Amino acid sequence: MKVIIDESVYLFLKENKIKLSLQFKTIISHLKVNPRMYPMVTDDVNIRHFIIKNIDFCYVIDNEKIIVSDCRFKNSNLKLKIK
């Protein structure tokens, strides 16, 4: 299986100055062997997620590709101010 990391995930990590190369490599190697080992996000079996250092990554299983498409901080203290 081929693992593709979306540009938005790359930019998120770069803008927040987060380095996860070693952890990301181990997760990707696990995904190549068994892509369904992490928990599902919704009722769809092809959308799943994993967590590294308080960052939640979402990925989609699509035939012979795994696409890491989204990421966010798991526990954020950021509050939106509505005027």
- For residue range 16-40, list pLDDT tens digits in order: 888 888 888 899 899 889 988 888 8
Domain boundaries, the chain: 2-73
- For residue range 34-77, list pLDDT tens digits in order: 988 888 887 788 899 999 888 889 999 998 899 999 888 888 76
Long-range contacts of 48-53 (CB under 8 A, 24+ apart): 52/20, 52/23, 52/24, 52/27, 53/18, 53/20, 53/23
| Its pTM surpasses 0.85 | no
Fold of 2-73: YaeB-like fold (3.30.2310)
